[in-house]
Amino acid sequence: MTTNDVFSMSENVSFELVGDLSVLMLNDSGEVLSCNQTMTAFLNELDGALSIEDVANRLQQRFAARPERIVEDLLSAAGELNRKGIIERV
């Protein structure tokens, strides 16, 4: 996985915003996951057109963190979410 990879939400996932947070439901298993503000911001940016690097640049403007840390966190999160079938590479 690289910063040039582009992802979108899986069609198997329902994504609902609840204020600054979100809830994900995996439709095939019924598993429900809650997301904090940072993960919600990340998932909101996954439109199938923006790369991880593009998303990191946008989030850097919203959150006080080093750019390298944001990229590391997004790559880690994307890998885990992709393995769980929540997001998919475009």
Element of type H or E holding 61:
helix 52-62
pLDDT value at residue 36: 92
pLDDT tens track of the chain, all 90 residues?
999 999 999 999 999 998 889 999 999 999 999 999 999 999 999 999 999 999 999 999 888 888 889 999 999 999 999 999 999 999
66's tokens: 């080093």
Identify whether the C-beta of residue 63 lies closer than 8 Å to the C-beta of residue 70. yes
List strand residue ranges (DSSP E) for 27-82, in order.
32-35, 47-51
